[in-house]
Amino acid sequence: MEQELAAVPQTAVVPFADRVAEAVERKRSQLVLGVDPRPELLPLELRAAAHAGRAAAAEACARFSCGLVDAAGPYVVGVKLQLAFFEALGADGLAAFEEACAYARAAGLLVIADGKRGDIGSTARAYADAYVQATEAGGPRVDAITVNPYLGSDSLEPFLAAARRSGTGLFVLVKTSNGGSADVQELTLSDGRPVWHQVAELVADWGEELVGEHGLSSVGAVVGATYPRAVGEARRLMPQAILLLPGIGAQGATPADVARAFTSGPASALVPVSRSVIYAFRVDGADWRTAAAAEAARLKREVWTASGW
């Protein structure tokens, strides 16, 4: 790792939305690096560890994650760590997740945990405590987390409370990028609207009290870039929400598909890029760090241009 891992500074109590806006303005980028480390797909120099037990695989995933931060860090404002791939490696995997979070934070990047959490009562509070609630021992582990709203507002209240107290953010699943999203999200309500429109209106309501100085809310929404028309509708329904727009690259969407998301400002949407960047070396055969940097740089330019800013 090029970067020496030092003590990680605690997150200042500045609203997440304002930190996003400041990072986008400073780096002229709306890109977020999606880190989905699969041991069987790691570069050759790390792949042998995939068959040497959980501890070795987790260490390899941590090295891969931190190497990607070194490579793509100059071109992105944050990283989105997919918790499932770390959790699959047990306690060692969670230790690798924490290492990757700390490393990204030390590099000045925002950290989003892609965990899609959402439960009720004490369980929801425990999830919030684990990731976005500041403790006496230090600040929150991450800057924001993805959450599932389908258990209702009480399942999200602990995350909203953490946002109020600790300056963290949340991205609520609204219209997701997968093909099966229509099974529930596109069902028609009695007034003719799709279900996801109702969820979008709830997100707008939940976020009203968490609007920062830049006019954006720390309650954001996940909207798939694979549905360009929905992106425009989502912006209309949630004018102050930061939209997290997965789907560019391996899932088939292009930067042009998300242009309508940026009408509320250059920081009003973030574009996570995962497989197309972190596994770029599998396409062109270049060194994995070099390939990731080149692809991140290209996508940064294209998304910025498409945003119109």
Q: State the CB neighbour count (10 A cutoff) for residue 49.
A: 20
For 152-172, b where at least 16 C-beta lie within 10 A, e where not — what string? eeebbbbbbebbeebbbbbbb
| Close Cβ partners of 85 (under 8 Å, ≥ 6 residues apart) | 36, 37, 38, 61, 93
- Selected catalytic residue, list 27, 116, 175, 300: 116
Q: What is the DSSP string of 237-296?
A: H-TTEEEE---BSTTSB-GGGGGGGGTT-TTSEEEEE-HHHHTTHHHH-S-HHHHHHHHH
Using an 8 Å Cβ cutoff, are 142 and 131 in contact? Answer: yes
Catalytic annotation on 116?
A: yes
- The residues carrying an active-site annotation are 116
